[in-house]
Structures are given as structure tokens and as C-alpha cells.
Amino acid sequence: METNAFNQKLNRYVLDDQIVYTGFSSFKDAEECAQKKDGNLVEVGFKDGNDNPEICQDAGLIDKKLHFFVDAGDEYKFIHSSNPGFRKYADELQKIKASNDKTSPDERYFANFEIENIEDPIIVLKNDHLESVTSRERSKYLKHAKVYELGVSLPKS
């Protein structure tokens, strides 16, 4: 089983003449895997609302040295846990949740633990307001989103 730098399972896709791995935790993580396996970095697009990958260059991930990007139109922003702004939004989301729940400090701590432990969390903003928290995998099915991930391509043996 292949894993990323955080020991999370990578996704493996078999395309026509290649095997592509996605789910890397950073650009550096993907680069290291490509070097180790003598593979190539590729951009993989999930653009049909399903888990159907295609090799593309639509988001320019390699040039921008990004490992993940979601395009769901102008009103939506998807903020990945690796994004420097994630912590600010996660803290704000926890304050809102705690305020709405009227929970004790101990319960607020455990609520924060929930967001921290969602596998590869993504915060979804609509018109710059917090909307929800989802996973990287679920983002492929939300808001007619086009999800782009950095992948490592290996020849099919």
C-alpha cells in the first residue's frame, strides 16, 4: 500500500498506458515519490462530479508548485488543510460552532479535535463566509467542483 507523508493511503488509478497515484500531502511529497519511483509529476483533473481522473494542465499545479486545487466558480473557495489560511478559518468555525452549541470548554476542545482529525480536511467558503467542512475526497462531488490533484505517473507494466 502506497502512502503519503502523513501515512494516509494514496489513491491509485489505472489509465490506458499508465498508473497514476494521487492524494499527496504536499508538492514536495509528490516530488519525492516521483524521484523514488522514477515517475513523472502530472496534474490529474476530476471534472465531472465523479472519481474519473484525466491527465490535464488546467489548474497549472506543477508550475505553481501546488498539490491540490478546487475550482467551483467565483462564489466558492475550498481551503485545504495545507493552506496557510486554513488555521484562521478552522478557529473561526470552531468559535461559531461552540457559540451555537453553548458547549463547555472541554466540549469545545473535543469539537476542535474533530476538525483536526477529519482525513485531509477542506473548509468550504461561499461568498467568503464559512459554509462547511468536508474531506478532500468528498470535494469531488460538491458544488459542481472541478478538483485538481498533483499525481505521480508510472508506466503500466
At 25-35, the pLDDT tens digits run: 899 999 999 99
What's the pLDDT at 69?
Answer: 92
Q: Give Cβ neighbours of residue 87 (< 8 Å, ≥ 6 apart).
A: none
Please name the helix (run of DSSP H) or strand (run of DSSP E) that holds residue 63, with its range, or none.
helix 61-64
Please choose, from the candidates 156, 150, 119, 152, the residue with its C-alpha nearest in 3D space to the C-alpha of residue 45.
Answer: 150
Could you state, in order of their start, the residue ranges of all structural domains in the chain? 11-155
34-88: per-residue pLDDT in tens?
999 999 999 999 998 888 899 999 999 999 999 999 999 899 888 887 777 777 7
Assign 104 a pLDDT band (cuts: 50, 70, 90): low
Q: Are 61 and 67 in contact (CB under 8 A)?
A: yes
CA 105 to chain centre: 30
Q: Are 44 and 53 in contact (CB under 8 A)?
A: yes
Residue 112: pLDDT above 50?
Answer: no
Pairing relation of β-strands 121-126 and 54-56?
A: unpaired
What's the pLDDT at 77?
Answer: 87
Q: Which of 27-31, 72-76, 117-121, 128-132 has the lowest mean pLDDT?
A: 117-121
Dihedral over Cα of 17, 22, 27, 28: its sign: negative
